[in-house]
């Protein structure tokens, strides 16, 4: 009991250290650059306390739930030996975690505004909602496909750089043909798809797969799923901009 | 009281976001793999920690850091603060925005250090690499990449140059670095591009981008406000590969030093 309390305190201190840079940056710019007092100091203190507590709990939960379940499922799938189920699972995980992603919903809404202002679609609420909805599905399918391709890559042991560099070349070619207004959103969409819960799960899945397949090295082959998940949305969003 | 209410609302939202993920995990586990999850109780408790942790984390950010950070992003890009007068409009020098770039870099660095998904990847990288990659080494390398990326992205919005020139040049750099990087770091470096931009970084950085685009004369927030996140996902790839190259170079140098020492002896 006592030792677990000490461990919890130590974890809390670790989270304080993680948050400290933000506090210092904000305090420095507020006090010395903008030369203003910090408003609502008590509110900020409570908020900072919540962030520290939340980060500590999240990291504990990560090690208890997200990492073990990602890895144990990877072992079970490779023991079961059914590649098809593994691929369906990979797609479902990518699609399912992205479709409900709040950051994506926000970006899709922005994109619909840009498209309506730019005259690509009718400027009515319903056509905007349709556009945003279509974009969300496009990105979710692209992330599902990305995790699937990434899992195939781990199984086959392909070097990641050929696939990613090939993807970059695809992005560059598509940039030339995509409507100018969509490019910024497309490039940003690569960054918003990978949420805080997805990243640990998908990382553990990849490492678990690489560890349980003979001849794969977890360091070389296990990482990389997230790289695919941030690349394919760029291409799919530009494609969506060209077609719709 | 109001805070408790916000906490409760956020917790419900977090549960709603995590529910599909949990559904997929447990669905496949029970229906396809047909195996009981090992240490089920512990895993479920871990999920509760994840949900509570995320909810606290988000409420804390919303209550404390985001309002002030967003306000500062607005104030720092205010023409009055930057000393830009009406007569300058149209031919503003990019160097007038020096504080903005500095703020962009500082906020990019510090939010990346607190990014939970990066912590997760760093823990895994340490375990898998047999501790040759340190948690802090990776996090600082990624944070430096984000800092440079966001500062450059802010510069791009101020100058109004097209986004894809920067990104395509960045790709060329990544490809060249890939040729010279140790093989074991490549996948991790590519991954670190995607993990940097989630809960903490995106809201503040988006506010900064919109702030700059709406105050710099001649920029439209709709067309120029985007792109900072793309910078923040590209530059960590370079900085992580550079980190690995630096490590390899150091190891070689000490080895060479040892060899020459033993020769002179």
**Per the CB < 8 Å rule, is A57 touching B53?**
yes
**Per the CB < 8 Å rule, is A51 touching B45?**
no
Q: Which residue has the tokens 């349709």?
A: A130
A12/B contact by beta carbon, under 8 A:
no
User: Which pLDDT belongs to residue B52?
Assistant: 93
User: Which pLDDT belongs to residue B85?
Assistant: 58
User: Which residue from B64, B184, B199 is facing A44, i.e. has the nearest CB?
Assistant: B64
Q: For A147-166, what is the mean pLDDT?
A: 93
Q: For A38-47, what is the mean pLDDT?
A: 85
**Per the CB < 8 Å rule, is A34 touching B18?**
no
Q: Which residue has the tokens 């593994």?
A: A86
How far from chain centre, in Å, is Cα B143?
Answer: 7
What would the pLDDT profile of B248-261 be if each residue is shown by its tens digit?
Answer: 888 888 888 887 77
Contact list, B163 vs chain A (CB under 8 Å): 183-184, 187
Nearest CA distance, A118 vs chain B (angstrom)? 10
A positions 68-87 inside 8 Å of B (CB): 68-69, 72-73, 76-77, 80, 85
Q: Please answer whether residues B153 and B208 qualify as being in contact, where contact means their C-beta atoms are separated by less than 8 angstroms.
A: no
User: Which pLDDT belongs to residue A7?
Assistant: 86
**Per the CB < 8 Å rule, is A195 touching B17?**
yes
**Per the CB < 8 Å rule, is B29 touching A117?**
no
Closest C-alpha among A139, A111, A130, A128 to residue A195: A139
User: Which pLDDT belongs to residue B90?
Assistant: 54
What would the pLDDT profile of B227-240 be if each residue is shown by its tens digit?
Answer: 888 888 899 999 99
Can you give the length of chain A in residues? 244
Least confident of A102-111, B159-168, B227-236: A102-111
Q: For B3-25, what is the mean pLDDT?
A: 87
* Segments making up each domain of chain B, as ranges: 1-61, 77-264
Model confidence band, residue B242 (pLDDT cutoffs 50, 70, 90): very high
Q: For B9-22, what is the mean pLDDT?
A: 87
Q: For A31-44, what is the mean pLDDT?
A: 84
**Per the CB < 8 Å rule, is A57 touching B28?**
no
The answer to whether residue A89 scores a pLDDT higher than 60 is yes
B25/A contact by beta carbon, under 8 A:
yes
Which phi and psi angles does A120 have, rounded to 5°? -75, -35
User: Which pLDDT belongs to residue B86?
Assistant: 53
Q: Is the ipTM of this complex over 0.95?
A: no
Least confident of A114-123, B57-66, B98-107, B148-157: A114-123
User: Which pLDDT belongs to residue B45?
Assistant: 94
User: Which residue from B49, B184, B198 is facing A219, i.e. has the nearest CB?
Assistant: B184
User: Which residue from B32, B114, B225 is facing A19, i.e. has the nearest CB?
Assistant: B114
Q: Helix, strand or coil for residue A36?
A: coil
Q: Please answer whether residues B186 and B178 qualify as being in contact, where contact means their C-beta atoms are separated by less than 8 angstroms.
A: yes
What would the pLDDT profile of B172-188 be if each residue is shown by its tens digit?
Answer: 999 999 999 988 899 99
Q: Transcribe B128-195 into DSSP letters.
A: HTTTSS-HHHHHHHHHHHHHHHHHHHHHHHHHT--HHHHHHHHHHHHHHHHHHS-HHHHHHHHHHHHH
What would the pLDDT profile of A168-215 be if each residue is shown by its tens digit?
Answer: 999 999 999 988 878 888 888 877 777 788 889 999 999 999 999 988
A173/B contact by beta carbon, under 8 A:
no
Q: For B148-168, what is the mean pLDDT?
A: 90
């Amino acid at each position: 009991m006592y030792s677990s309390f000490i461990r919890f305190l130590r974890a809390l201190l670790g989270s304080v250290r993680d948050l400290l840079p933000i506090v210092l940056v904000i305090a420095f710019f507020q006090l010395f650059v903008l030369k203003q007092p910090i408003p609502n100091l008590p509110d900020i203190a409570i908020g900072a306390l919540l962030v520290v507590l939340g980060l500590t709990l999240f990291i504990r939960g990560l090690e208890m739930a997200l990492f073990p379940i990602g890895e144990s499922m990877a072992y079970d799938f490779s023991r079961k030996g059914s590649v098809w189920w593994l691929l369906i699972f990979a797609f479902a995980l990518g699609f399912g975690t992205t479709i409900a992603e709040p950051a994506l919903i926000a970006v899709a809404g922005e994109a619909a505004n840009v498209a309506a202002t730019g005259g690509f679609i009718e400027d009515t609420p319903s056509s905007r909602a349709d556009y945003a909805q279509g974009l969300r599905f496009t990105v979710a399918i692209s992330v599902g496909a990305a995790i699937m391709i990434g899992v195939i890559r781990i199984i086959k042991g392909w070097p990641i750089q050929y696939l990613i560099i090939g993807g970059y070349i695809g992005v560059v070619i598509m940039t030339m043909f995509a409507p100018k207004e969509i490019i910024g959103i497309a490039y940003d969409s690569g960054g918003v798809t990978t949420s805080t819960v997805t990243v640990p799960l998908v990382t553990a899945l990849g490492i678990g797969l690489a560890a349980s397949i003979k001849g794969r090295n977890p360091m070389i082959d296990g990482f990389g799923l997230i790289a695919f998940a941030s690349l394919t949305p760029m291409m799919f969003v530009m494609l969506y901009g060209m077609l719709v | 009281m109001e805070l408790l209410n916000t906490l409760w609302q956020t917790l419900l939202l977090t549960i709603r976001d995590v529910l599909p993920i949990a559904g997929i995990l447990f669905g496949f586990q029970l229906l396809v793999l047909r195996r009981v999850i090992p240490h089920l109780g512990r895993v479920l408790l871990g999920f509760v920690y994840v949900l509570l942790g995320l909810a606290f984390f988000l409420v804390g950010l919303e209550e404390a850091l985001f309002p002030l950070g967003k306000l500062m992003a607005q104030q720092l890009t205010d023409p009055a603060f930057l000393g830009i007068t009406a007569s300058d409009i149209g031919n503003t020098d990019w160097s007038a925005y020096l504080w903005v770039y500095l703020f962009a870099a500082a906020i990019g660095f510090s939010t990346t250090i607190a990014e939970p998904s990066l912590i997760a990847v760093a823990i895994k990288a340490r375990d898998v690499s047999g501790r040759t990659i340190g948690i802090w080494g990776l996090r600082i390398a990624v944070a430096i990449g984000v800092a440079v990326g966001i500062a450059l992205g802010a510069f791009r919005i101020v100058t109004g140059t097209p986004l894809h020139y920067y990104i395509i040049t960045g790709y060329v750099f990544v490809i060249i670095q890939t040729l010279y990087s140790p093989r074991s770091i490549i996948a991790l470096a590519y991954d670190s591009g995607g993990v940097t931009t989630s809960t903490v970084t995106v809201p503040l950085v988006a506010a900064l981008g919109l702030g700059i685009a709406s105050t710099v004369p001649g920029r439209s927030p709709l067309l120029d406000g985007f792109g900072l996140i793309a910078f923040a996902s590209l530059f960590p790839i370079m900085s992580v590969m550079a980190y690995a190259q630096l490590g390899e170079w150091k190891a070689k140098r000490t080895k060479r030093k040892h060899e020459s020492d033993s020769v002179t002896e």
